[in-house]
Amino acid sequence: MAGHSSEHGRDIKLFGALFVLVGLIDLLIIEFFPAYALKLFGVTIAGPLAYIVKLHSPAAHFVIGYGFLFLRPWAWGLAMAYGGFGIVSELLNQLAFGFHRLRTGFMVSTVLFLCYLAWRRALFADPLPPARRLASTPEVPS
């Protein structure tokens, strides 16, 4: 049974639902705490521009969540890129603002999650190879 669940990506779909939930929580935090100054890549972003910049987080979480829920091939690359974005940003925040246990925990958990995604990469593979996907006529097996 465990292998069967694993083959259908229920774990990734659960992560997708969690990403959607985190996106919703991000939106609520942005709405209820509009004065919060976001720290991104070692820079504090405040003022009216901060509200717009902060919206990148729920948007990314919603899109990744959707991609995970439906196992879209592009979701894997987007999640890996956004994870890398988060790790680099938090590393620069640590260098600029000093060591923080929460930031370190975020970086470690993100690295572990990205390793897990790399291990589950096959779930996101497009079932048609590029040659067949782009072919004008269907190939007949010999």
So where are the chain's domains? 2-125
What is the pLDDT averaged over residues 1-16?
A: 75
Q: Could you read off the pLDDT of 24-74 as tens digits, one per residue?
A: 999 999 999 888 888 999 999 888 888 888 999 999 999 999 999 999 999
Q: What is the mean pLDDT of the chain?
A: 87
Q: Does 99 or 1 have the greater pLDDT score?
A: 99
Is residue 15 predicted with pLDDT exceeding 90?
yes
Task: Kindly list the distances between the CA atom of residue 10 and the CA atoms of 50, 72, 112, 113, 122, in Å, as whole numbers in the listed order.
Answer: 36, 14, 19, 16, 14
The rounded distance, in Å, linking the Cα atoms of 32 and 36 is 9
Kindly state the average pLDDT of the residues 79-100: 95
